[in-house]
A and B are shown apart, each in its own frame.
Chain A
Amino acid sequence: MKKVIFIILIFFISQVSAQQKITVWEKGTMPNSKGLKLKKIEEKEGRITQIQAPELFVFLPAKEERKTMAVIIIPGGGYHHLTYDLGGYSYAKWLNTLGISAFVLNYRLPTSPDLKQRELAPLQDIQAAVKLIRKNAAQYGISPNQIGVLGTSAGGHLAAMDSNISTDYTELKGDWTNFSAVPDFAILVSPVIDLGEFAHRGSRDNLLGENASQEKIKEYSMQNRVTDKTPPTILFHAQNDPAVPVINSVLYYEAMIKSKVKGALFIFPKGEHNIGISNKTELTDNWKKICADWLTQIDK
Protein backbone atom coordinates (compact mmCIF):
# COMPACT_ATOMS: atom_id res chain seq x y z
CA MET A 1 0.00 0.00 0.00
CA LYS A 2 2.75 2.36 1.01
CA LYS A 3 4.56 1.50 -2.19
CA VAL A 4 1.49 2.27 -4.28
CA ILE A 5 1.11 5.66 -2.71
CA PHE A 6 4.78 6.29 -3.26
CA ILE A 7 4.50 5.37 -6.93
CA ILE A 8 1.42 7.52 -7.37
CA LEU A 9 3.24 10.34 -5.66
CA ILE A 10 6.28 9.94 -7.91
CA PHE A 11 3.99 9.84 -10.92
CA PHE A 12 2.21 12.95 -9.75
CA ILE A 13 5.44 14.83 -9.12
CA SER A 14 6.87 13.91 -12.48
CA GLN A 15 3.62 14.94 -14.13
CA VAL A 16 3.86 18.26 -12.40
CA SER A 17 7.48 18.88 -13.25
CA ALA A 18 7.12 17.69 -16.83
CA GLN A 19 4.00 19.67 -17.51
CA GLN A 20 4.21 22.76 -15.37
CA LYS A 21 2.98 25.62 -17.48
CA ILE A 22 3.73 29.24 -16.75
CA THR A 23 2.39 32.31 -18.43
CA VAL A 24 5.01 34.66 -19.83
CA TRP A 25 3.16 37.94 -19.38
CA GLU A 26 1.70 39.10 -16.10
CA LYS A 27 -1.94 40.06 -16.42
CA GLY A 28 -2.42 43.12 -18.61
CA THR A 29 1.23 43.51 -19.61
CA MET A 30 1.24 41.73 -22.98
CA PRO A 31 1.99 44.31 -25.67
CA ASN A 32 1.02 44.25 -29.35
CA SER A 33 -2.46 42.79 -28.82
CA LYS A 34 -5.82 44.00 -30.13
CA GLY A 35 -7.46 42.24 -27.19
CA LEU A 36 -9.17 39.56 -29.28
CA LYS A 37 -10.09 36.30 -27.60
CA LEU A 38 -8.43 33.49 -29.55
CA LYS A 39 -8.84 29.77 -29.16
CA LYS A 40 -5.81 27.55 -29.02
CA ILE A 41 -5.78 25.60 -32.28
CA GLU A 42 -3.84 22.36 -32.54
CA GLU A 43 -4.13 21.60 -36.25
CA LYS A 44 -2.84 18.11 -35.68
CA GLU A 45 -1.02 16.38 -32.87
CA GLY A 46 2.14 18.24 -31.95
CA ARG A 47 1.36 21.19 -34.18
CA ILE A 48 -0.17 24.34 -32.73
CA THR A 49 -1.25 26.99 -35.23
CA GLN A 50 -2.79 29.57 -32.91
CA ILE A 51 -2.46 30.66 -29.30
CA GLN A 52 -3.86 33.61 -27.40
CA ALA A 53 -0.76 34.31 -25.33
CA PRO A 54 2.66 32.73 -25.06
CA GLU A 55 3.37 30.09 -22.47
CA LEU A 56 6.41 28.33 -21.07
CA PHE A 57 6.56 24.65 -20.21
CA VAL A 58 8.97 23.95 -17.39
CA PHE A 59 11.22 20.87 -17.46
CA LEU A 60 13.46 20.54 -14.41
CA PRO A 61 16.05 17.84 -13.77
CA ALA A 62 15.97 16.17 -10.39
CA LYS A 63 17.27 18.60 -7.79
CA GLU A 64 20.34 16.44 -7.07
CA GLU A 65 21.34 16.48 -10.75
CA ARG A 66 20.42 20.06 -11.51
CA LYS A 67 23.16 22.40 -12.70
CA THR A 68 22.87 26.17 -12.73
CA MET A 69 22.47 26.34 -16.50
CA ALA A 70 19.10 26.69 -18.23
CA VAL A 71 17.91 26.79 -21.82
CA ILE A 72 14.77 28.27 -23.35
CA ILE A 73 13.74 26.11 -26.27
CA ILE A 74 12.13 27.82 -29.23
CA PRO A 75 10.24 25.41 -31.50
CA GLY A 76 10.14 25.90 -35.23
CA GLY A 77 7.31 25.62 -37.71
CA GLY A 78 7.98 28.28 -40.34
CA TYR A 79 6.38 31.01 -38.18
CA HIS A 80 3.13 29.31 -39.14
CA HIS A 81 2.85 26.71 -36.41
CA LEU A 82 4.73 25.44 -33.34
CA THR A 83 6.27 21.96 -33.37
CA TYR A 84 6.30 22.07 -29.61
CA ASP A 85 6.78 18.34 -29.05
CA LEU A 86 9.35 17.23 -31.65
CA GLY A 87 11.07 20.62 -31.65
CA GLY A 88 10.43 21.43 -28.00
CA TYR A 89 9.62 18.84 -25.35
CA SER A 90 11.95 16.34 -26.93
CA TYR A 91 14.96 18.68 -26.59
CA ALA A 92 13.85 19.65 -23.09
CA LYS A 93 13.93 16.05 -21.88
CA TRP A 94 17.36 15.54 -23.41
CA LEU A 95 18.72 18.70 -21.76
CA ASN A 96 17.32 17.46 -18.46
CA THR A 97 19.46 14.33 -18.85
CA LEU A 98 22.47 16.70 -18.88
CA GLY A 99 21.29 18.35 -15.68
CA ILE A 100 20.20 21.45 -17.57
CA SER A 101 16.83 23.02 -16.86
CA ALA A 102 14.69 23.63 -19.92
CA PHE A 103 11.72 25.84 -20.73
CA VAL A 104 9.79 25.31 -23.94
CA LEU A 105 8.37 28.54 -25.29
CA ASN A 106 5.17 28.58 -27.29
CA TYR A 107 5.25 32.08 -28.75
CA ARG A 108 2.59 34.06 -30.56
CA LEU A 109 2.78 33.41 -34.26
CA PRO A 110 3.02 36.40 -36.59
CA THR A 111 0.00 35.06 -38.47
CA SER A 112 -2.26 35.69 -35.45
CA PRO A 113 -5.17 38.10 -36.17
CA ASP A 114 -4.75 39.58 -32.68
CA LEU A 115 -1.46 41.33 -33.46
CA LYS A 116 -0.96 44.97 -34.24
CA GLN A 117 2.53 44.49 -35.64
CA ARG A 118 3.07 40.95 -36.80
CA GLU A 119 6.87 40.70 -36.96
CA LEU A 120 7.43 41.90 -33.40
CA ALA A 121 5.25 39.45 -31.47
CA PRO A 122 7.60 36.40 -31.43
CA LEU A 123 10.51 38.61 -30.41
CA GLN A 124 8.50 40.29 -27.65
CA ASP A 125 7.53 36.90 -26.29
CA ILE A 126 11.06 35.45 -26.22
CA GLN A 127 12.43 38.65 -24.70
CA ALA A 128 9.83 38.53 -21.93
CA ALA A 129 10.54 34.84 -21.40
CA VAL A 130 14.28 35.41 -20.95
CA LYS A 131 13.54 38.20 -18.48
CA LEU A 132 11.06 36.04 -16.60
CA ILE A 133 13.47 33.11 -16.21
CA ARG A 134 16.23 35.46 -15.06
CA LYS A 135 13.89 37.12 -12.57
CA ASN A 136 12.77 33.79 -11.13
CA ALA A 137 16.10 31.98 -11.43
CA ALA A 138 16.55 31.46 -7.70
CA GLN A 139 13.18 29.74 -7.49
CA TYR A 140 14.43 27.08 -9.94
CA GLY A 141 17.89 26.89 -8.43
CA ILE A 142 19.53 28.15 -11.61
CA SER A 143 21.79 31.07 -12.41
CA PRO A 144 20.38 34.19 -14.11
CA ASN A 145 23.68 34.48 -16.01
CA GLN A 146 23.59 31.07 -17.65
CA ILE A 147 20.38 31.30 -19.62
CA GLY A 148 20.70 30.13 -23.19
CA VAL A 149 18.32 29.72 -26.10
CA LEU A 150 17.93 26.73 -28.39
CA GLY A 151 16.07 27.25 -31.64
CA THR A 152 15.22 24.86 -34.45
CA SER A 153 14.34 26.04 -37.96
CA ALA A 154 12.24 29.23 -37.68
CA GLY A 155 12.83 28.92 -33.92
CA GLY A 156 16.50 29.37 -34.81
CA HIS A 157 15.61 32.62 -36.51
CA LEU A 158 13.85 33.77 -33.37
CA ALA A 159 16.79 32.63 -31.21
CA ALA A 160 19.13 34.63 -33.46
CA MET A 161 16.82 37.66 -33.26
CA ASP A 162 16.85 37.47 -29.49
CA SER A 163 20.65 37.12 -29.58
CA ASN A 164 21.20 40.22 -31.70
CA ILE A 165 18.40 42.73 -31.25
CA SER A 166 19.29 44.75 -28.19
CA THR A 167 16.20 46.96 -28.23
CA ASP A 168 13.83 45.77 -25.53
CA TYR A 169 10.37 45.45 -27.11
CA THR A 170 8.65 44.04 -24.04
CA GLU A 171 7.54 47.44 -22.67
CA LEU A 172 7.87 45.90 -19.20
CA LYS A 173 8.40 48.45 -16.47
CA GLY A 174 9.73 48.65 -12.93
CA ASP A 175 12.20 46.02 -11.77
CA TRP A 176 11.75 44.17 -15.08
CA THR A 177 14.02 46.72 -16.69
CA ASN A 178 16.94 45.32 -14.68
CA PHE A 179 16.91 42.07 -16.62
CA SER A 180 18.57 41.70 -19.99
CA ALA A 181 16.58 40.02 -22.75
CA VAL A 182 19.71 38.83 -24.57
CA PRO A 183 20.64 35.20 -23.84
CA ASP A 184 24.05 34.07 -22.56
CA PHE A 185 24.51 31.55 -25.35
CA ALA A 186 22.63 30.13 -28.32
CA ILE A 187 22.24 26.72 -29.93
CA LEU A 188 20.88 26.84 -33.47
CA VAL A 189 19.68 23.67 -35.17
CA SER A 190 18.89 23.89 -38.91
CA PRO A 191 18.16 27.59 -38.36
CA VAL A 192 16.46 30.02 -40.70
CA ILE A 193 18.89 32.95 -40.85
CA ASP A 194 18.67 34.65 -44.22
CA LEU A 195 15.36 36.00 -45.49
CA GLY A 196 16.85 36.99 -48.86
CA GLU A 197 18.46 34.77 -51.49
CA PHE A 198 18.59 31.65 -49.32
CA ALA A 199 15.34 32.21 -47.47
CA HIS A 200 12.89 29.62 -46.34
CA ARG A 201 10.07 31.43 -48.16
CA GLY A 202 7.31 30.33 -45.83
CA SER A 203 9.08 31.69 -42.76
CA ARG A 204 9.72 35.01 -44.45
CA ASP A 205 6.19 35.46 -45.76
CA ASN A 206 4.68 34.54 -42.42
CA LEU A 207 6.95 36.84 -40.45
CA LEU A 208 7.09 39.86 -42.75
CA GLY A 209 4.03 39.41 -44.94
CA GLU A 210 3.87 38.59 -48.64
CA ASN A 211 5.57 41.62 -50.13
CA ALA A 212 8.26 42.68 -47.72
CA SER A 213 10.57 45.48 -48.86
CA GLN A 214 14.25 44.82 -49.55
CA GLU A 215 15.13 46.92 -46.48
CA LYS A 216 12.90 44.83 -44.26
CA ILE A 217 14.32 41.59 -45.64
CA LYS A 218 17.83 42.81 -44.98
CA GLU A 219 16.91 43.95 -41.49
CA TYR A 220 15.46 40.56 -40.59
CA SER A 221 18.26 38.52 -42.18
CA MET A 222 20.13 37.70 -39.00
CA GLN A 223 23.61 37.43 -40.51
CA ASN A 224 23.38 41.22 -40.93
CA ARG A 225 22.73 41.78 -37.24
CA VAL A 226 25.70 40.01 -35.68
CA THR A 227 28.05 42.22 -33.64
CA ASP A 228 30.84 41.60 -31.17
CA LYS A 229 28.09 41.48 -28.52
CA THR A 230 26.39 38.43 -30.02
CA PRO A 231 26.56 35.63 -27.41
CA PRO A 232 28.61 32.45 -28.06
CA THR A 233 26.72 30.32 -30.56
CA ILE A 234 26.95 26.79 -31.89
CA LEU A 235 25.25 25.84 -35.14
CA PHE A 236 24.19 22.44 -36.49
CA HIS A 237 22.92 21.87 -40.01
CA ALA A 238 22.67 19.10 -42.59
CA GLN A 239 24.16 19.68 -46.02
CA ASN A 240 21.16 17.94 -47.59
CA ASP A 241 18.52 20.07 -45.81
CA PRO A 242 15.85 20.55 -48.50
CA ALA A 243 13.82 23.12 -46.54
CA VAL A 244 16.38 25.54 -45.09
CA PRO A 245 19.58 25.60 -47.19
CA VAL A 246 22.76 24.95 -45.20
CA ILE A 247 24.15 28.29 -46.36
CA ASN A 248 21.91 29.91 -43.73
CA SER A 249 24.14 28.57 -40.95
CA VAL A 250 27.30 29.31 -42.94
CA LEU A 251 26.33 32.96 -43.41
CA TYR A 252 25.66 33.38 -39.71
CA TYR A 253 28.90 31.72 -38.71
CA GLU A 254 30.89 33.84 -41.17
CA ALA A 255 29.37 36.95 -39.60
CA MET A 256 30.32 35.59 -36.16
CA ILE A 257 33.93 35.10 -37.23
CA LYS A 258 34.06 38.59 -38.68
CA SER A 259 32.76 40.02 -35.38
CA LYS A 260 34.95 37.71 -33.26
CA VAL A 261 32.00 35.95 -31.66
CA LYS A 262 33.04 32.64 -30.16
CA GLY A 263 31.32 29.55 -31.41
CA ALA A 264 31.30 26.47 -33.55
CA LEU A 265 29.74 25.13 -36.74
CA PHE A 266 28.94 21.49 -37.43
CA ILE A 267 27.57 20.54 -40.82
CA PHE A 268 26.68 16.92 -41.41
CA PRO A 269 26.23 15.38 -44.86
CA LYS A 270 22.84 13.91 -43.97
CA GLY A 271 19.99 14.66 -41.62
CA GLU A 272 17.82 16.75 -43.94
CA HIS A 273 15.61 19.14 -41.99
CA ASN A 274 15.27 16.60 -39.20
CA ILE A 275 18.31 16.85 -36.94
CA GLY A 276 16.77 15.90 -33.64
CA ILE A 277 17.06 13.78 -30.58
CA SER A 278 16.95 10.52 -32.49
CA ASN A 279 18.66 10.48 -35.85
CA LYS A 280 18.80 8.01 -38.70
CA THR A 281 22.55 8.19 -39.23
CA GLU A 282 25.19 7.54 -36.61
CA LEU A 283 27.32 10.41 -37.88
CA THR A 284 24.57 12.99 -37.45
CA ASP A 285 23.62 11.59 -34.05
CA ASN A 286 27.00 12.82 -32.75
CA TRP A 287 25.61 16.35 -32.61
CA LYS A 288 24.21 15.73 -29.13
CA LYS A 289 27.57 14.69 -27.70
CA ILE A 290 29.23 17.71 -29.31
CA CYS A 291 26.54 20.04 -28.05
CA ALA A 292 26.80 18.63 -24.52
CA ASP A 293 30.60 19.01 -24.55
CA TRP A 294 30.28 22.56 -25.88
CA LEU A 295 27.88 23.43 -23.07
CA THR A 296 30.32 21.96 -20.54
CA GLN A 297 33.09 24.05 -22.04
CA ILE A 298 31.25 27.39 -21.93
CA ASP A 299 30.36 26.57 -18.36
CA LYS A 300 34.05 26.88 -17.41
Chain B
Amino acid sequence: MKKTIFIVLIFLINQISAQEKILFWPKGEMPNSKGLKIENKDLNPEISTQEAELFAFLPPKPERSQRSVIIIPGGGYSKLTYNEGAFQIAKWMNTLGISAFVLYYRLPTSPDLIQREIAPLQDAQAAIKYIRKNASQWGISPDQVGVVGTSAGGHLATSVSNISTDYTGLKGEWTNISTIPDFAVLFCPVIDFGEFAHVGSRKSLLGENASPEKRTEFSMQNRVTEKTPPTVLFHNQDDTAVPAMNSILYFKAMTKNKVKGALFIFPKGGHKFSITNKSELSENWKKLCSDWLKSLDEK
Protein backbone atom coordinates (compact mmCIF):
# COMPACT_ATOMS: atom_id res chain seq x y z
CA MET B 1 0.00 0.00 0.00
CA LYS B 2 2.74 2.37 1.03
CA LYS B 3 4.56 1.45 -2.13
CA THR B 4 1.53 2.22 -4.26
CA ILE B 5 1.14 5.63 -2.68
CA PHE B 6 4.82 6.24 -3.25
CA ILE B 7 4.55 5.28 -6.91
CA VAL B 8 1.47 7.43 -7.35
CA LEU B 9 3.29 10.27 -5.65
CA ILE B 10 6.34 9.86 -7.87
CA PHE B 11 4.09 9.76 -10.89
CA LEU B 12 2.29 12.89 -9.73
CA ILE B 13 5.53 14.75 -9.06
CA ASN B 14 6.85 13.72 -12.42
CA GLN B 15 3.72 14.95 -14.06
CA ILE B 16 4.00 18.22 -12.28
CA SER B 17 7.65 18.83 -12.93
CA ALA B 18 7.50 17.54 -16.47
CA GLN B 19 4.45 19.50 -17.42
CA GLU B 20 4.65 22.75 -15.57
CA LYS B 21 3.38 25.33 -18.01
CA ILE B 22 4.46 28.92 -17.69
CA LEU B 23 2.81 31.87 -19.37
CA PHE B 24 5.83 34.13 -19.45
CA TRP B 25 4.30 37.31 -20.84
CA PRO B 26 2.92 39.40 -17.99
CA LYS B 27 -0.85 39.65 -18.50
CA GLY B 28 -1.75 42.14 -21.20
CA GLU B 29 1.85 42.88 -22.17
CA MET B 30 2.36 40.58 -25.12
CA PRO B 31 3.24 42.90 -28.02
CA ASN B 32 2.56 42.47 -31.73
CA SER B 33 -0.95 41.02 -31.30
CA LYS B 34 -4.21 42.06 -32.89
CA GLY B 35 -6.00 40.54 -29.95
CA LEU B 36 -7.58 37.66 -31.85
CA LYS B 37 -8.67 34.63 -29.87
CA ILE B 38 -6.57 31.70 -31.05
CA GLU B 39 -6.95 28.14 -29.90
CA ASN B 40 -4.07 25.74 -29.70
CA LYS B 41 -4.37 23.46 -32.63
CA ASP B 42 -2.53 20.23 -31.94
CA LEU B 43 -1.93 18.22 -35.07
CA ASN B 44 -0.33 15.46 -33.11
CA PRO B 45 2.64 15.24 -32.76
CA GLU B 46 3.03 18.77 -34.02
CA ILE B 47 1.09 21.89 -33.39
CA SER B 48 0.50 24.64 -35.87
CA THR B 49 -0.66 27.57 -33.79
CA GLN B 50 -0.42 28.30 -30.11
CA GLU B 51 0.08 30.93 -27.52
CA ALA B 52 3.56 31.66 -26.28
CA GLU B 53 4.44 29.50 -23.30
CA LEU B 54 7.24 27.63 -21.59
CA PHE B 55 7.24 24.07 -20.30
CA ALA B 56 9.58 23.56 -17.39
CA PHE B 57 11.61 20.35 -16.99
CA LEU B 58 13.57 20.37 -13.76
CA PRO B 59 16.11 17.81 -12.55
CA PRO B 60 15.74 16.62 -8.96
CA LYS B 61 16.96 19.32 -6.60
CA PRO B 62 20.08 17.41 -5.38
CA GLU B 63 21.19 16.85 -8.99
CA ARG B 64 20.33 20.30 -10.27
CA SER B 65 23.22 22.45 -11.52
CA GLN B 66 23.21 26.20 -11.98
CA ARG B 67 22.84 25.85 -15.71
CA SER B 68 19.63 25.99 -17.70
CA VAL B 69 18.56 25.97 -21.32
CA ILE B 70 15.60 27.24 -23.25
CA ILE B 71 14.81 24.71 -25.94
CA ILE B 72 13.46 26.16 -29.15
CA PRO B 73 11.70 23.60 -31.35
CA GLY B 74 11.87 23.69 -35.12
CA GLY B 75 9.21 23.16 -37.75
CA GLY B 76 10.09 25.55 -40.54
CA TYR B 77 8.38 28.48 -38.77
CA SER B 78 5.05 26.95 -39.75
CA LYS B 79 4.64 24.45 -36.90
CA LEU B 80 6.39 23.30 -33.74
CA THR B 81 7.94 19.85 -33.62
CA TYR B 82 8.03 19.88 -29.86
CA ASN B 83 7.88 16.20 -29.12
CA GLU B 84 10.96 14.63 -30.62
CA GLY B 85 12.88 17.83 -31.14
CA ALA B 86 12.30 19.45 -27.81
CA PHE B 87 10.81 17.34 -25.02
CA GLN B 88 13.32 14.54 -25.59
CA ILE B 89 16.23 16.98 -25.45
CA ALA B 90 14.73 18.55 -22.33
CA LYS B 91 14.68 15.19 -20.56
CA TRP B 92 18.22 14.44 -21.69
CA MET B 93 19.37 17.84 -20.37
CA ASN B 94 17.79 16.91 -17.05
CA THR B 95 19.99 13.79 -16.94
CA LEU B 96 22.97 16.19 -16.97
CA GLY B 97 21.49 18.18 -14.11
CA ILE B 98 20.56 21.00 -16.45
CA SER B 99 17.12 22.61 -16.14
CA ALA B 100 15.27 22.87 -19.42
CA PHE B 101 12.39 25.05 -20.58
CA VAL B 102 10.71 24.21 -23.85
CA LEU B 103 9.53 27.33 -25.64
CA TYR B 104 6.34 27.49 -27.64
CA TYR B 105 6.68 30.63 -29.65
CA ARG B 106 4.12 32.33 -31.83
CA LEU B 107 4.58 31.33 -35.41
CA PRO B 108 5.04 34.06 -38.02
CA THR B 109 2.16 32.54 -39.97
CA SER B 110 -0.32 33.40 -37.20
CA PRO B 111 -3.15 35.70 -38.35
CA ASP B 112 -2.99 37.50 -35.01
CA LEU B 113 0.35 39.19 -35.68
CA ILE B 114 0.85 42.79 -36.64
CA GLN B 115 4.46 42.24 -37.83
CA ARG B 116 5.11 38.60 -38.62
CA GLU B 117 8.90 38.27 -38.56
CA ILE B 118 9.52 39.65 -35.08
CA ALA B 119 6.97 37.58 -33.11
CA PRO B 120 9.21 34.52 -32.55
CA LEU B 121 12.08 36.78 -31.52
CA GLN B 122 9.89 38.74 -29.12
CA ASP B 123 8.79 35.51 -27.49
CA ALA B 124 12.32 34.11 -27.18
CA GLN B 125 13.58 37.40 -25.75
CA ALA B 126 10.77 37.57 -23.21
CA ALA B 127 11.33 33.92 -22.26
CA ILE B 128 15.01 34.55 -21.51
CA LYS B 129 14.14 37.57 -19.41
CA TYR B 130 11.53 35.56 -17.55
CA ILE B 131 13.94 32.72 -16.73
CA ARG B 132 16.60 35.16 -15.57
CA LYS B 133 14.14 37.11 -13.46
CA ASN B 134 12.85 33.99 -11.74
CA ALA B 135 16.12 32.06 -11.63
CA SER B 136 16.40 31.94 -7.85
CA GLN B 137 12.99 30.31 -7.64
CA TRP B 138 14.42 27.22 -9.36
CA GLY B 139 17.86 27.46 -7.80
CA ILE B 140 19.55 28.24 -11.10
CA SER B 141 21.85 31.05 -12.13
CA PRO B 142 20.61 34.00 -14.23
CA ASP B 143 24.05 34.08 -15.88
CA GLN B 144 24.06 30.51 -17.18
CA VAL B 145 20.97 30.54 -19.32
CA GLY B 146 21.54 29.07 -22.77
CA VAL B 147 19.41 28.36 -25.81
CA VAL B 148 19.08 25.12 -27.73
CA GLY B 149 17.62 25.32 -31.21
CA THR B 150 16.84 22.68 -33.80
CA SER B 151 16.26 23.48 -37.47
CA ALA B 152 14.18 26.70 -37.69
CA GLY B 153 14.50 26.78 -33.89
CA GLY B 154 18.23 27.17 -34.56
CA HIS B 155 17.44 30.23 -36.62
CA LEU B 156 15.51 31.67 -33.72
CA ALA B 157 18.28 30.69 -31.29
CA THR B 158 20.84 32.55 -33.41
CA SER B 159 18.48 35.50 -33.83
CA VAL B 160 18.23 35.87 -30.08
CA SER B 161 22.03 35.34 -29.81
CA ASN B 162 22.84 38.18 -32.17
CA ILE B 163 20.05 40.76 -32.22
CA SER B 164 20.71 43.11 -29.34
CA THR B 165 17.65 45.30 -29.83
CA ASP B 166 15.08 44.41 -27.20
CA TYR B 167 11.74 43.92 -28.99
CA THR B 168 9.78 42.82 -25.93
CA GLY B 169 8.53 46.28 -25.01
CA LEU B 170 8.66 45.16 -21.36
CA LYS B 171 9.07 48.03 -18.93
CA GLY B 172 10.14 48.68 -15.37
CA GLU B 173 12.27 46.07 -13.65
CA TRP B 174 12.27 44.01 -16.86
CA THR B 175 14.37 46.51 -18.82
CA ASN B 176 17.69 45.72 -17.15
CA ILE B 177 17.51 42.01 -17.85
CA SER B 178 19.47 41.00 -20.96
CA THR B 179 17.79 39.07 -23.75
CA ILE B 180 21.06 37.58 -25.04
CA PRO B 181 21.67 33.98 -23.94
CA ASP B 182 24.94 32.92 -22.29
CA PHE B 183 25.56 30.15 -24.79
CA ALA B 184 23.88 28.41 -27.70
CA VAL B 185 23.57 24.80 -28.87
CA LEU B 186 22.40 24.38 -32.45
CA PHE B 187 21.18 21.23 -34.19
CA CYS B 188 20.81 21.27 -37.99
CA PRO B 189 20.13 25.00 -37.74
CA VAL B 190 18.59 27.16 -40.43
CA ILE B 191 21.07 30.05 -40.74
CA ASP B 192 21.19 31.35 -44.28
CA PHE B 193 18.24 32.78 -46.21
CA GLY B 194 20.25 33.09 -49.41
CA GLU B 195 21.91 30.36 -51.46
CA PHE B 196 21.60 27.62 -48.84
CA ALA B 197 18.19 28.57 -47.46
CA HIS B 198 15.53 26.21 -46.25
CA VAL B 199 12.96 27.93 -48.44
CA GLY B 200 9.97 26.96 -46.32
CA SER B 201 11.44 28.62 -43.23
CA ARG B 202 12.26 31.76 -45.15
CA LYS B 203 8.81 32.07 -46.68
CA SER B 204 7.08 31.46 -43.37
CA LEU B 205 9.21 34.03 -41.57
CA LEU B 206 9.61 36.76 -44.19
CA GLY B 207 6.69 36.10 -46.53
CA GLU B 208 6.67 34.96 -50.13
CA ASN B 209 8.64 37.74 -51.76
CA ALA B 210 11.20 39.01 -49.28
CA SER B 211 13.64 41.57 -50.68
CA PRO B 212 17.34 40.67 -50.99
CA GLU B 213 18.05 43.18 -48.20
CA LYS B 214 15.62 41.44 -45.89
CA ARG B 215 17.13 38.04 -46.72
CA THR B 216 20.60 39.32 -45.95
CA GLU B 217 19.40 40.88 -42.71
CA PHE B 218 17.84 37.62 -41.53
CA SER B 219 20.73 35.42 -42.65
CA MET B 220 22.28 34.94 -39.25
CA GLN B 221 25.87 34.45 -40.43
CA ASN B 222 25.75 38.16 -41.28
CA ARG B 223 24.80 39.16 -37.73
CA VAL B 224 27.64 37.52 -35.80
CA THR B 225 29.86 39.91 -33.81
CA GLU B 226 32.48 39.45 -31.12
CA LYS B 227 29.57 39.66 -28.65
CA THR B 228 27.91 36.50 -29.96
CA PRO B 229 27.83 33.96 -27.10
CA PRO B 230 29.87 30.71 -27.29
CA THR B 231 28.10 28.32 -29.64
CA VAL B 232 28.33 24.65 -30.58
CA LEU B 233 26.86 23.43 -33.86
CA PHE B 234 25.82 19.92 -34.88
CA HIS B 235 24.89 19.00 -38.42
CA ASN B 236 24.77 15.95 -40.71
CA GLN B 237 26.38 16.05 -44.11
CA ASP B 238 23.45 14.17 -45.63
CA ASP B 239 20.85 16.67 -44.35
CA THR B 240 18.79 17.39 -47.46
CA ALA B 241 16.32 19.75 -45.77
CA VAL B 242 18.83 22.20 -44.30
CA PRO B 243 22.25 21.89 -45.96
CA ALA B 244 25.28 21.58 -43.68
CA MET B 245 26.59 24.77 -45.29
CA ASN B 246 24.26 26.65 -42.94
CA SER B 247 26.31 25.59 -39.92
CA ILE B 248 29.58 26.09 -41.78
CA LEU B 249 28.70 29.69 -42.68
CA TYR B 250 27.82 30.48 -39.09
CA PHE B 251 30.97 28.87 -37.71
CA LYS B 252 33.13 30.77 -40.19
CA ALA B 253 31.55 34.03 -39.06
CA MET B 254 32.16 33.02 -35.45
CA THR B 255 35.81 32.26 -36.11
CA LYS B 256 36.27 35.55 -37.94
CA ASN B 257 34.80 37.37 -34.94
CA LYS B 258 36.74 35.31 -32.39
CA VAL B 259 33.59 33.80 -30.93
CA LYS B 260 34.48 30.61 -29.11
CA GLY B 261 32.76 27.44 -30.17
CA ALA B 262 32.75 24.14 -31.93
CA LEU B 263 31.43 22.60 -35.13
CA PHE B 264 30.64 18.91 -35.45
CA ILE B 265 29.46 17.59 -38.81
CA PHE B 266 28.61 13.91 -38.96
CA PRO B 267 28.46 11.99 -42.25
CA LYS B 268 24.96 10.58 -41.79
CA GLY B 269 21.80 11.15 -39.82
CA GLY B 270 19.59 13.28 -42.05
CA HIS B 271 17.76 16.29 -40.68
CA LYS B 272 17.85 15.34 -37.04
CA PHE B 273 19.81 14.47 -33.94
CA SER B 274 17.97 12.05 -31.73
CA ILE B 275 18.48 10.93 -28.19
CA THR B 276 18.48 7.35 -29.43
CA ASN B 277 20.59 6.96 -32.53
CA LYS B 278 20.88 4.32 -35.15
CA SER B 279 24.64 4.49 -35.50
CA GLU B 280 27.38 4.40 -32.93
CA LEU B 281 29.10 7.31 -34.65
CA SER B 282 26.04 9.57 -34.37
CA GLU B 283 25.62 8.53 -30.75
CA ASN B 284 28.75 10.55 -29.92
CA TRP B 285 26.90 13.86 -30.24
CA LYS B 286 25.63 13.54 -26.69
CA LYS B 287 29.09 13.06 -25.19
CA LEU B 288 30.42 15.96 -27.29
CA CYS B 289 27.53 18.18 -26.23
CA SER B 290 27.79 17.39 -22.52
CA ASP B 291 31.58 17.81 -22.54
CA TRP B 292 31.18 21.12 -24.35
CA LEU B 293 28.65 22.33 -21.78
CA LYS B 294 31.07 21.31 -19.02
CA SER B 295 33.90 23.16 -20.78
CA LEU B 296 31.93 26.42 -20.45
CA ASP B 297 32.91 26.41 -16.79
CA GLU B 298 36.62 26.44 -17.67
CA LYS B 299 38.25 29.79 -17.71
Chain A contacts to B: CB under 8 angstroms: 232, 239, 246-247, 250, 253-254, 257, 262-270, 281-283, 286, 289-290, 293-294, 296-297
Contact = CB atoms under 8 A, between A and B. Distances in A.
A250 B267 contact: no
Nearest to B266: A264
Contacts of A267: 251, 262-264
23 contacts: A250-B252, A257-B243, A257-B244, A257-B245, A257-B248, A262-B237, A265-B265, A269-B260, A269-B295, A281-B295, A282-B291, A282-B295, A283-B262, A283-B291, A286-B291, A290-B284, A290-B288, A293-B279, A293-B280, A293-B283, A294-B281, A296-B280, A296-B281
Contacts of B244: 257
Contacts of B268: 297
Contact of B279 (A266, A283, A297): A297
B157 to A, nearest CB: 18
A253 B237 CA distance: 10
Given A239-B261, A290-B284, A297 B248 contact: no
B261 A269 contact: yes
Given A239-B260, A290-B281, A297 B267 contact: yes
A94 to B, nearest CB: 17
Contact of B292 (A247, A250, A269, A296): A269
A264 B237 contact: yes
B265 to A, nearest CB: 4
B267 A289 contact: no
Interface in B248-274: 248, 251-252, 255, 260-268
Contacts of B287: 286, 289
A263 B248 contact: no
Contacts of B266: 264
Contacts of B283: 293
Nearest to A289: B284
B294 A247 contact: no
Nearest to B260: A269
Contacts of B230: 269
Nearest to B293: A283
Interface in B103-156: none
A250 B264 CA distance: 11
Contacts of A254: 245, 248
Contacts of A293: 279-281, 283-284
A188 B251 CA distance: 19
B262 A264 contact: no
Interface in B212-265: 230, 237, 243-245, 248, 251-252, 255, 260-265
Nearest to A290: B284
A-B residue pairs, 7 tightest by C-beta: A283-B291, A293-B281, A267-B263, A265-B265, A264-B267, A293-B280, A269-B262
Nearest to A258: B245
